[in-house]
């Protein structure tokens, strides 16, 4: 395929023999034809490589084989090979409707005078809120829509977004390879902190399969959670600094709830480890002083309010209450 594609679709794959064929067939049925597909085989040891070999016969498909390095490393490899004006990310267990790319193309055509930095759609997934605001947003309009994306839990997903590749290259933006959670969210927040506009498209043509839902319940190391919080709050700070507007109030509500949930994970992870009561008390004190903890109480549900009140007790009392909640599996 010699023509420069409008879209580059990047699909990281690891041991996906049961689903990758469905994913690729859905991509190859697109009604819009000017696109490329970059599949990165991240060291699969099942029949995935054989399936990919069959699909490599299609002119739109490029297959890259690499030693297993994780999903972030695979996506980064795909971005290095991408030639399209816009980049999209798919997972190997998801699929798309045949008008998936056409929706983005039609929305680009509706704004011919604009160089669109990002397009955001919806997911066909009832577990994720829908973005009701549709249209072109720039400058002072961006903060409010960011708030809706955050509160609807859409801001962290890659799969309903279409990124202008020039911005990715100018920023040398890559997925962090040292963490195993929230790499998508961190990538998106960095991108949002540097764009001037984006389009929100109506409808939903991406089907998201949360086959790794059990991973959200796995024990995560304290150090990994602390690194995640460090990056997360730094990127939130960058967005707040960029827009510096009272319109960010809605966005800040979503931030506060997300940071509080992470703080709860951090404290719980300490119980799983060999931290002393004094160490945990110190951590709780730091959480209580955090700038994203202010004004959070009214946003919480009943269970979250209980946890938050306990966090604000005397730190040693909080330690024993939180430990009791953990033992009862309230976390």
CATH number, domain of 158, equals: 3.90.550.10
Same domain? For 164 and 224 the reply is no
As a whole number, mean pLDDT of residues 100-116 equals 93
Is 200 within 8 Å of 134 (Cβ atoms)? Answer: yes
Domain-embedded: residue 20: yes
At which of 195, 216, 237 does a domain end? 216
Domain-embedded: residue 2: no
**Residues 71-94 pLDDT 10s:** 999 999 999 999 999 999 999 999
Same domain? For 26 and 89 the reply is yes
Domain-embedded: residue 286: yes
Is 89 within 8 Å of 159 (Cβ atoms)? Answer: yes
Is 252 within 8 Å of 239 (Cβ atoms)? Answer: no
**Residues 228-276 pLDDT 10s:** 888 888 878 878 887 766 667 777 777 777 787 788 888 888 877 888 8
Same domain? For 21 and 163 the reply is yes
At which of 173, 201, 216 does a domain end? 216
Q: What is the residue range of 299's domain?
A: 219-327
**Residues 150-162 pLDDT 10s:** 777 778 889 989 9
pTM across the whole model: 0.80
At which of 187, 216, 245 does a domain end? 216
Angle (nearest 5°) at CA 79 between 105 and 26: 50
Domain-embedded: residue 1: no
183: its two tokens: 């790499």
Domain count, the chain: 2
Which residue in 133, 249, 263, 150 sits closest to 198, CA to CA? 133
Domain-embedded: residue 178: yes
């Amino acid at each position: 395929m010699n023509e420069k594609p409008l879209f580059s679709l990047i699909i990281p794959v690891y041991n996906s023999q049961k689903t990758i064929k469905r994913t690729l067939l859905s991509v190859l049925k697109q009604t819009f034809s000017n696109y490329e597909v970059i599949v990165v085989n991240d060291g699969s040891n099942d029949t995935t490589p054989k399936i990919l070999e069959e699909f490599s016969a299609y002119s739109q498909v490029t297959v890259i084989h690499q030693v297993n390095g994780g999903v972030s490393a695979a996506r980064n490899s795909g971005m290095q090979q991408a030639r399209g004006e816009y980049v999209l990310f798919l997972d190997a267990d998801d699929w798309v409707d045949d008008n998936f790319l056409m929706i983005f193309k039609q929305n680009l055509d509706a704004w011919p005078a604009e160089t669109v930095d990002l397009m955001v759609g919806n997911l066909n997934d009832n577990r994720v809120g829908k973005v009701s605001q549709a249209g072109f947003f720039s400058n002072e309009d961006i903060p409010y829509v960011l708030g809706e994306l955050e509160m609807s839990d859409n801001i962290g997903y890659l799969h309903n977004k279409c990124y202008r590749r020039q911005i990715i290259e100018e920023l040398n933006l890559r997925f962090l390879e040292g963490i195993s959670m929230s790499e998508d969210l961190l990538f998106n927040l960095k991108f949002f902190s540097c764009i001037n506009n984006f389009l929100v498209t109506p409808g939903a043509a991406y089907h998201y399969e949360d086959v790794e839902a059990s991973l959200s319940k796995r024990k995560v190391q304290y150090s990994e959670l602390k690194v995640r919080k460090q990056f997360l709050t730094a990127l939130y700070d960058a967005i707040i600094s960029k827009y510096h507007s009272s319109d960010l109030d809605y966005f800040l509500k979503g931030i506060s709830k997300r940071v509080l949930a992470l703080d709860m994970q951090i404290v719980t992870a300490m119980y799983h480890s060999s931290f002393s009561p004094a160490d945990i008390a110190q951590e709780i004190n730091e959480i209580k002083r955090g700038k994203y903890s202010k004004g959070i109480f009214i946003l919480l549900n009943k269970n979250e309010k209980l946890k938050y009140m306990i966090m604000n007790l005397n730190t040693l009392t909080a330690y024993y209450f939180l430990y009791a909640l953990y033992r009862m599996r309230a976390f």
